[in-house]
């Protein structure tokens, strides 16, 4: 019996191969998709790395806690907190000071970079020189004792320069001799020894006027303090 041709399936059409334009478009879309996937993966890397780092820290803390618990169980109970072993949260005073200094330096550097701290003014305010301040100190002692106040720095300058007539004039030197009468302790002994050395040196330079004048003042100092 012959088959009904109307019931037979139509033959399949052969698909024509894609054109060059279609191939180019498909490849471009494929490359874009790969770039997009790579970018998404790169964006996720920091989060993944951060999560891994946090997980590692958690495991390390758990391990340390476990070791501490085991050591505590094996060792006798510590009644004095000072005898407890030092750990990350139990720093010595010196370690704590070092850590605080480092944190302050980091914070200060960051604040400077952000402009939160004003720059240092390297030029200090000008004031009277040390010589003038020392002479004013001596004048106040001689003429206004009620307002005078002892200052070690001013006295040191006077003792170091009292044999120099260019630094301390004769009039001021007379006041200084009176001031030296109240000198006590090591300062008195040192001043006498320095004066003795100047007197000995004057014998080696009898024609040097400056040396002889220093020696003359040194003799007056020795006479006052002896």
* pLDDT tens for each residue of 46-98: 554 565 566 666 766 776 677 677 666 655 444 444 444 444 456 677 877 88
Per cent of the chain over pLDDT 90 is: 31
Task: With respect to residue 209, please indicate whether it lies within any of the assigned structural domains.
Answer: yes
Q: What is the pLDDT, as a whole number, of residue 101? A: 83
Q: What is the pLDDT, as a whole number, of residue 102? A: 81
Domain span at residue 163?
130-225
Final residue in a domain of this structure, among 75, 103, 138: 75
Q: Based on the domain organization, do 68 and 140 belong to the same domain?
A: no
pTM over 0.85: no
Task: With respect to residue 121, please indicate whether it lies within any of the assigned structural domains.
Answer: no
Task: With respect to residue 135, please indicate whether it lies within any of the assigned structural domains.
Answer: yes
Final residue in a domain of this structure, among 54, 75, 96: 75
Task: With respect to residue 110, please indicate whether it lies within any of the assigned structural domains.
Answer: no
Please tell me the distance from the alpha carbon of residue 202 to that of residue 158, in angstroms, as a whole number: 21
Task: With respect to residue 152, please indicate whether it lies within any of the assigned structural domains.
Answer: yes
Contact 199/215 with Cβ under 8 angstroms?
Answer: yes
Assign 123 a pLDDT band (cuts: 50, 70, 90).
very low
User: Does the pLDDT value for residue 10 go beyond 80?
Assistant: no
Q: Based on the domain organization, do 154 and 217 belong to the same domain?
A: yes
Task: With respect to residue 6, please indicate whether it lies within any of the assigned structural domains.
Answer: no
Q: What is the pLDDT, as a whole number, of residue 143? A: 94
Q: Based on the domain organization, do 155 and 70 belong to the same domain?
A: no
Domain count, the chain: 2
Final residue in a domain of this structure, among 40, 75, 110: 75
């Amino acid at each position: 019996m012959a088959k009904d041709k109307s019931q037979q399936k139509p033959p399949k059409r052969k698909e024509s191969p894609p054109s060059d334009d279609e191939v180019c478009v498909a490849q471009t879309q494929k490359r874009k998709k790969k770039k997009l996937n790579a970018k998404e993966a790169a964006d996720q890397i920091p989060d993944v790395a951060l999560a891994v780092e946090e997980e590692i820290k958690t495991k390390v803390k758990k391990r340390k806690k476990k070791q501490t618990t085991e050591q505590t169980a094996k060792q006798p109970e510590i009644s004095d907190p000072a005898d407890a072993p030092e750990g990350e949260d139990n720093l010595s005073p010196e370690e704590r000071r070092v850590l605080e200094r480092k944190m302050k330096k980091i914070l200060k550097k960051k604040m400077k970079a952000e402009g939160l701290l004003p720059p240092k003014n390297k030029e200090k305010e000008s004031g009277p020189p040390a010589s003038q301040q020392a002479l004013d100190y001596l004048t106040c002692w001689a003429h206004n004792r009620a307002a005078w106040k002892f200052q070690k720095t001013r006295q040191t300058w006077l003792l170091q320069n009292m044999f120099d007539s260019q630094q301390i004039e004769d009039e001021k030197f007379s006041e200084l001799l009176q001031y030296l009468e109240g000198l006590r302790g090591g300062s008195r002994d040192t001043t006498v020894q320095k004066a003795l050395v100047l007197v000995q040196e004057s014998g080696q330079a009898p024609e040097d006027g400056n040396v002889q004048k220093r020696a003359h003042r040194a003799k007056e100092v020795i006479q006052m303090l002896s």
